[in-house]
Chain A
């Protein structure tokens, strides 16, 4: 998910075009066109490096912030089984964040720098995690819709031209399927329950449907640096293509649950064999991205507090390691 095109690549960086010769750029593009993977220490255009750092770190931040909406229900899960599942899922999100930070670090950016950018609000993360989880059904809707949208986006990223990112995505995708299936099963259980439970599931779908569609980022016409990312084979499909694919597979899943997708204009076009849908409220998307979603401030404040509260642990561990190393050197 998370490749929403949240800010421009290359802003503020030094102009390195002169240092990069035409021959170097052509040779690089030829490697990409031949489907060769680019590895960490290989020569790459500065803009390619910056685009990847931006995209991978935003992706990592999204995983880390993404723990919060679900963590909100950890202590209130209805059964031990659901609690254990949710705990495993939230741990996976932390793991995904770590795989991705580690992939981004191969490009020469430090972990501290990335975390600093998240905490200062300079770096962006996926808009979806700025929505609240008001009921238990939201946990199901997130697994089913949010992780479902993430999978759509992430599967092509497994073939991304940058080796470390592609390998991290393969690892992530292997785990995402569990996330989506547990979410759908949770929704199914609610939909087969009491009227109230089913209404709760419908309400969660109502609130998460549009934000899930926004996860794919702006319409192609408005997506500023898609073309370059496509040429570099960082991106393989456009935002609108992926969004359409997601809608096409998800609507029948909603029907199976007996729930209705909150889009009165939704219809299946027999000629194209795709669903047609209403326009997305892009104003809402840009509001959330620019910091004014329902939970933006709360998410960042929580992340900052967790980081600050953990500072003494990081320092103590370091001091202990230094002390031990000194003792070993003296022995």
Chain B
């Protein structure tokens, strides 16, 4: 009888330099090093990556979807943060 399953890690892959890492999925592994190897074998069998990040899933701090509107509310009434808020005469160029 096995004790308990290996911890879950989230996998992030940079597909080529110049791009940011992007979430690919998750793997189970006994430790960090194994997590990297498992992530490589699972998610980059066709050279889909040049760099991998793995992080224990239980170490990720995430916003609560149920609170989405309240959480992002501060940005909602600040339309002056967008360039289209400002009326500039058509004659003015390069602006």
Contacts and interface: CB of A to CB of B under 8 A. Distances in A.
Do the two chains belong together in a single complex? Answer: yes
Interface of A: 39, 41-43, 88, 91-92, 95, 98-99, 102-103, 105, 110-112, 167-168, 171, 175, 311, 314-315, 317-318, 320-321, 324-325
A111 B24 CA distance: 18
A202 B85 CA distance: 69
Given A39-B65, A98-B42, A105 B31 contact: no
A110 B5 contact: yes
A243 to B, nearest CB: 30
B6 A314 contact: yes
Contacts of A320: 30-31
B42 A317 contact: no
Contacts of A168: 25
19 contacts: A41-B62, A41-B65, A43-B65, A43-B66, A98-B27, A102-B25, A111-B5, A112-B4, A171-B24, A171-B25, A311-B2, A314-B6, A317-B6, A317-B30, A317-B31, A317-B34, A318-B30, A321-B31, A321-B34
Interface string B20-56: 0000111110110010000001100110000000000
A311 B4 CA distance: 11
Question: Mostly helix, strand, loop or mixed at chain A's interface?
Answer: helix
Contact of A314 (B2, B27, B31, B41): B2
B49 to A, nearest CB: 13
A314 B31 CA distance: 12
Instruction: Sort chain B's interface into a size bin.
Output: 20 to 34
B6 A318 contact: yes
A297 B34 CA distance: 33
Contacts of B64: 41
A171 B24 CA distance: 9
Contacts of B24: 171
A111 B3 contact: no
A95 B42 CA distance: 5
A102 B26 CA distance: 6
B27 A102 contact: yes
Contacts of A315: 2-3
Nearest to B5: A112
A315 B4 CA distance: 9
Contacts of B42: 95, 98-99
A324 B31 contact: yes
A314 B38 CA distance: 14
B62 to A, nearest CB: 7
The 10 closest A-B pairs by CB, nearest first: A317-B30, A321-B31, A321-B30, A102-B26, A112-B5, A102-B25, A41-B65, A42-B65, A98-B42, A318-B30
Nearest to B63: A41
Contact of A111 (B28, B45, B62): B28
A45 B62 CA distance: 22
Contacts of B30: 314, 317-318, 320-321
A321 B35 CA distance: 12
A110 B3 CA distance: 14
B45 A91 contact: yes
Contacts of B45: 88, 91-92, 95
A167 B64 CA distance: 21
Contacts of B62: 41
A42 B8 CA distance: 20
Nearest to B25: A102
A99 B25 contact: yes
Contacts of A171: 24-25
Nearest to A319: B30
A103 B25 contact: yes
B9 to A, nearest CB: 10
Contacts of B66: 43
B12 to A, nearest CB: 13
